[in-house]
Amino acid sequence: AQQQGTPLSDHEYRQFFRPLRAAHRASTACLIRALYGCQNPLVRRLDEYENHGVIPEGPICSELPGIPFFPDFCAFSFYRCTRKRYFIKV
């Protein structure tokens, strides 16, 4: 079992995104996030699942070139959505 609040492993990410693999499904999840925000129960469940049951608080470190961190997980998720880079992880 993984520690709560840690990101999914590469294998777990493949499993997590399998239902969303088609871009239109991922963009639908992003639309829900944009319309209802990160506090929406469905969005929170997805975010919790992606992080072993706990949505990380505070700054989120990133390996993205030029973007060393995001202020919180919500900002990171919005970044993925706005850039249509649905399947990147921190």
The per-residue pLDDT for range 5-61, each reduced to its tens digit, is 787 788 887 777 666 556 677 788 899 999 999 999 999 998 998 888 899 888 998
Nearest to 13 by CA among 64, 42, 43, 52: 52
Identify the domain containing residue 14 by its residue range.
Answer: 10-83
Greater model confidence, 50 or 4: 50
**Distance between CA 55 and CA 5 in Å, rounded?**
6
Classify residue 43: in a domain, yes or no: yes
The per-residue pLDDT for 21 is 58
The per-residue pLDDT for 23 is 66
The pTM of this model reads 0.71
Classify residue 5: in a domain, yes or no: no
- Using DSSP's 3-state secondary structure scheme, residue 81 falls into helix
For residue 9 the two structure tokens come to 């492993």
| Cβ neighbour number for residue 13 with a 10 Å cutoff | 15
How many independent structural domains does the chain possess? 1
Classify residue 4: in a domain, yes or no: no
The per-residue pLDDT for 10 is 81
Classify residue 51: in a domain, yes or no: yes
Find the angle CA(67)-CA(3)-CA(19) to the nearest 5 degrees.
70
